[in-house]
Structure 1
């Protein structure tokens, strides 16, 4: 029996990185478990972590993760506006899955096109809401940025359009929970304040009963119920939205494991490419831009970049490129993914100024390939065969370059339509455009084969593992949140 339709629910924050994305994913899983047909929605995302939808368009990776938690395919209606920073002052603007150009932060946030974007995101939400219930919405940053609020297309203006029951999340671990929650609500207009149905205190360390007085004080200060106090946890794996989480991964080499160094680029994109490898018990994976730490690694990975030429010039100037050369010369493994693949080649050319004013730059020269950056972006999910493996592998492409091989083609992967991907110089040096390639056991086993005879646990299914994590997250939320109050706020009245 089909359950009655629920009104949308929205999770907003007192600041960035308070846990909105993870909590949204958790509620997507809860509603799925309870028999509803939920879908995530974030009007505007700013992130270098993106994903290709089944129909070959691009959205923020966080909404793809939330869709996975909801058990549905991702769609551009879940994230109609995506901003991908290309440098400190400008971003590529992606609308409904397609790039529409680059804009400076000033022009984007202060220009007159916000009304058009707001209309587009409302239309995307309306389409999504007609197909799913409830829509689980996520805000962005703080809800009380007074200088930007009248141009906001993501937070409470969107909640008002959707008629969403809105819950404010505060991070108690960073301190200042009373000031941040009270101030956020106090700065709202009366109309906006009516949207707020409850407060969620996130990342509490220890016994939450110790916060009972604090809970009561927050409710008295704000006039809004505290519907849950969620614990700080490290043992549940949910993909992080953006690279702020990488600061916890600046580790170093250790003995007894295969040491994998991922080069920490300024515009590093899709760092989730390495989540599966990081979970492998044979591996110690760390991010670094220090030549001495690169020298300690067995395997060096050049990841994707939103500004490949700029990041390439940076690593040439800070000693990282020389460290990569030395690692390769010393018989270490060096591989590149997407922008990293382009960097490993002989040249990168940008005749159309896709990334900036520099029209050509020599690559690292480890692979005999040449890349020309192009305005047209390739976004596509892929099945592929890796080298000689019979295992069907999965990945996805998101890039704005076309790469050609000088001399004989030596593919890394074979696609179902007869095309090939990447270049395989040897087991210790290759490149690919396929994000997610390291989520596949066949690829990981071959990558590590020169350093360990131990094969991966063939019963380990990374996708199944992630599914279990969503269930664990849902269990934690149910145990610490008043779900009866949540559901009561979502009932539609005639």
Structure 2
């Protein structure tokens, strides 16, 4: 336990030279460090654009990254940690969620130029103030690059937020993508003088190789920018924290593996809540991969159609690129098919959107593997859930986030997958190898994973059975904190934060 725990600390903010430089992971890591050192930290990101979201105990929606950071901080997540969430529904439009509830769909120009920026700024500041009254220190995260000059007047998440919060700002750069000197120098020098003065240091992230090779680089950056390099953090290879950006999914190469159950997650264009599969990635009985390649899908034992922020658009694309037909063929061949949320809707008979909730497409036939029909609705369902499998009393948890309502088509009997704690039956089970559910997080429950793998018992060992995923996640946060303690100048950061 550090002796620094008695100091009063100013907020700390991580901003980036660009997207995907590691701000979210560093924020989670420092939340855990401050918790370990006796503080009561909390994360904050004024505005997040992501398809990964989570539901609070109050049934409100926030970015999944902030839920992960809150978990690292050892506290319940709250929408004050992410007051504005943008969920892209096309290349140009996003659903705007304020304090956990949707307030409409806006295109990028509308949002950045005509939506009441003053009002949003006020809401964001109020959320920060409420959070700061309850926790200390607040660990803020910026968004994308701090050097988007064309958006600075409407910016509510980066340097203007740092100024309001009185935060000590650390600029994060990804050396793995190259151009680190230009990106750091440009990011610092393009700031207005009042914002440049807030940058207290730089962290070079995702370094590969011998750290001594960057000693000269550290000195050069400090001379060029006039701010200290507070750490050079090696690329993380053996610490597993849920990722915010789906870009990483397509980098995970396909390869079927003998002696394991091969599970393919269909890589949808608007895939959402892909953290549903984080537990499966760590299960030693399973080889998990993401693909929209027809041939690769045929090698899978289990195919999962995941959630989607734009179900009709993704369904249209699956029919266009042949993946829909490949899933149907796999089902006929006896492969297990699971649909989650939007994937559940896609596996049904039909998806209709008479109110244009998702866009211009109003009706498409589904894959026809489940006897359900779905109608999109303007009202969003967001709730945490407790449930059990029908043949097992083990308590399970998950959460729902969806716009549509599904019902069993006429002529078919209900065949629910689970029973909710309130007695309601949910999902659909067709035979033994095709099923769907609205429940995100269902795969975090060991009893359901064991149920899914039961047909393959002769192929796998029991190495993953009974594995405690919650304990695993806590261990990963501790390992991340250890990694950062080793490679950043923590004492100097504490000095910078002292008020």
Asked if 1:138 is matched to 2:141, the reply is yes
Classify the secondary structure of the residue corresponding to 2:476. Answer: helix
Asked if 1:445 is matched to 2:454, the reply is no
Asked if 1:422 is matched to 2:391, the reply is no
Q: 1:405 to 1:5 in 2, by over 3 A?
A: farther
Classify the secondary structure of the residue corresponding to 2:149. Answer: coil
CA-based RMSD of the aligned residues comes to 1.3
Q: What do the CA deviations read for 1:360-392 (whole angstroms, capped 9, x no partner)? A: 221111111111111111111111102211211
Work out the CA distance in 1 between the residues paired with 2:93 and 2:480: 35
Q: Of the candidates 148, 154, 168, which is equivalent to residue 165 of structure 1?
A: 168
Work out the CA distance in 2 between the residues paired with 1:375 and 1:112: 20
Classify the secondary structure of the residue corresponding to 2:150. Answer: coil
Which residue of structure 2 lines up, in the alignment, with residue 278 of structure 1? 281
Q: Of the candidates 192, 199, 205, which is equivalent to residue 196 of structure 1?
A: 199
Aligned ranges 1:300-379 → 2 under 5 Å: 300-379=303-382
Aligned ranges 1:181-260 → 2 under 5 Å: 181-260=184-263
Which residue of structure 1 lines up, in the alignment, with residue 486 of structure 2? 479
Alpha-carbon offset, residue 253 of structure 1: 2.1
Work out the CA distance in 2 between the residues paired with 1:116 and 1:320: 44
Alpha-carbon offset, residue 256 of structure 1: 2.5
Contact persistence 1:445–1:456 (CA under 8 A): no
Alpha-carbon offset, residue 4 of structure 1: 4.8
Q: 1:395 to 1:456 in 2, by over 3 A?
A: farther
Comparing 352-361 with 187-196, greater Cα deviation is found at: 352-361
Alpha-carbon offset, residue 458 of structure 1: 4.0
Alpha-carbon offset, residue 255 of structure 1: 2.6
Comparing 191-200 with 453-462, greater Cα deviation is found at: 453-462
Contact persistence 1:298–1:332 (CA under 8 A): yes
Which residue of structure 2 lines up, in the alignment, with residue 58 of structure 1? 61
Work out the CA distance in 2 between the residues paired with 1:152 and 1:172: 26
Alpha-carbon offset, residue 3 of structure 1: 4.2
Work out the CA distance in 2 between the residues paired with 1:304 and 1:157: 34
Contact persistence 1:79–1:96 (CA under 8 A): yes
Work out the CA distance in 1 between the residues paired with 2:21 and 2:259: 36
Unpaired runs of 5+ in structure 1? none
Alpha-carbon offset, residue 140 of structure 1: 0.5
Q: What do the CA deviations read for 1:193-231 (whole angstroms, capped 9, x no partner)? A: 111111101111122122111111111111101111111
Work out the CA distance in 1 between the residues paired with 2:6 and 2:442: 39
Classify the secondary structure of the residue corresponding to 1:375. Answer: strand
Asked if 1:46 is matched to 2:49, the reply is yes
Contact persistence 2:97–2:103 (CA under 8 A): yes
Q: 1:3 to 1:385 in 2, by over 3 A?
A: farther
Contact persistence 1:258–1:452 (CA under 8 A): no
Classify the secondary structure of the residue corresponding to 1:391. Answer: strand
Q: Of the candidates 459, 462, 465, which is equivalent to residue 469 of structure 2?
A: 462
Normalising by structure 2, we get a TM-score of: 0.97
Alpha-carbon offset, residue 456 of structure 1: 5.1
Q: 1:457 to 1:255 in 2, by over 3 A?
A: closer
Which residue of structure 2 lines up, in the alignment, with residue 488 of structure 1? 495
Classify the secondary structure of the residue corresponding to 1:141. Answer: coil
Alpha-carbon offset, residue 359 of structure 1: 2.2
Aligned ranges 1:27-42 → 2 under 5 Å: 27-42=30-45
Work out the CA distance in 1 between the residues paired with 2:315 and 2:491: 53
Alpha-carbon offset, residue 261 of structure 1: 0.9
Classify the secondary structure of the residue corresponding to 1:417. Answer: coil
Contact persistence 1:427–1:447 (CA under 8 A): no
Alpha-carbon offset, residue 358 of structure 1: 2.4
Matched residues, number: 492
Classify the secondary structure of the residue corresponding to 1:260. Answer: strand
Alpha-carbon offset, residue 234 of structure 1: 1.1
Which residue of structure 1 lines up, in the alignment, with residue 292 of structure 2? 289
Which residue of structure 1 lines up, in the alignment, with residue 402 of structure 2? 399
Classify the secondary structure of the residue corresponding to 2:57. Answer: coil
Comparing 288-297 with 336-345, greater Cα deviation is found at: 288-297
Asked if 1:98 is matched to 2:101, the reply is yes
Alpha-carbon offset, residue 277 of structure 1: 1.0
Work out the CA distance in 2 between the residues paired with 1:432 and 1:317: 25
Q: What do the CA deviations read for 1:307-360 (whole angstroms, capped 9, x no partner)? A: 001111110111101101100111110110000000111111112110012222
Q: 1:112 to 1:449 in 2, by over 3 A?
A: closer
Asked if 1:111 is matched to 2:114, the reply is yes
Contact persistence 2:285–2:462 (CA under 8 A): no
